[in-house]
């Protein structure tokens, strides 16, 4: 987390609140809108482009994040909300251990099979259901279970998935961390909103 160096200019805030409460409310609302858009843009670029975050295209996890303004009659009740209902996003944010509800093994695609993945790192549609792929059989190599494509004519065996009892997902989305790291930026934007209220109104 970055060290907090910026602070809300309370003198300007109290002055603007006393003299121009309506104008201040509009400017604060614009500032909060700016903050939410800037945060989501930073979050997408820094945490959804692969390591150390999550590799996700614009229509992946990011598409499930939304923002909303909290409307109020007074400034104290104003706010903003950035949220998602995505269970996958929550797992990547907090970490989790994934198991098969039916008690069976989980087929995890082998990363070295680059032909199974799109350029942005997502698994291609036809490889998302291993059981529907022709000529894929369960095999054992060095004591580990795999799903492999067996080509009898070419006499080749190509492991495509490793079978695991569970998969441990480490926290790596960094949604909250990104928000915390922007604390100074958020305060600077709000201070500018307050300053603009005083300067534009006095002109």
Tens-place pLDDT, residues 101-160? 888 999 999 999 999 998 877 889 999 999 888 889 999 999 999 999 998 887 899 999
Q: The pTM is what?
A: 0.81
Residue ranges for the chain with pLDDT beneath 70:
1-5, 57-59, 201-203
57 by Cβ neighbours in 10 Å (0-12 / 13-18 / 19+) ranks as middle
Mean pLDDT over the full length of the chain? 90
- Cα of first residue to Cα of last residue in the chain, in angstroms, is 39
């Amino acid at each position: 987390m970055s060290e907090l160096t910026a602070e809300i200019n309370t003198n300007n805030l109290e002055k603007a609140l006393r003299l121009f409460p309506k104008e201040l409310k509009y400017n604060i609302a614009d500032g909060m809108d700016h903050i939410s858009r800037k945060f989501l843009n930073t979050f997408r670029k820094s945490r959804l482009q692969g390591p150390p975050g999550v590799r996700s295209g614009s229509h992946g996890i990011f598409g499930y994040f939304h923002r909303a303004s909290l409307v109020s009659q007074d400034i104290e009740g104003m706010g903003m909300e950035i949220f998602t209902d995505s269970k996958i996003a929550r797992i990547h944010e907090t970490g989790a251990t994934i198991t098969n509800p039916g008690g069976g093994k989980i087929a995890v695609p082998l990363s070295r099979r680059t032909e199974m993945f799109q350029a942005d790192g997502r698994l291609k549609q036809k490889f998302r259901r291993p059981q529907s792929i022709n000529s894929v059989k369960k095999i054992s190599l060095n004591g580990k279970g795999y799903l492999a494509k067996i080509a009898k004519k070419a006499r080749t065996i190509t492991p495509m998935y490793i079978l695991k009892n569970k998969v441990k997902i480490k926290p790596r989305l960094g949604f909250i961390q990104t928000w915390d790291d922007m604390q100074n930026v958020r305060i600077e934007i709000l201070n500018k909103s307050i300053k603009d209220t005083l300067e534009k109104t006095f002109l």
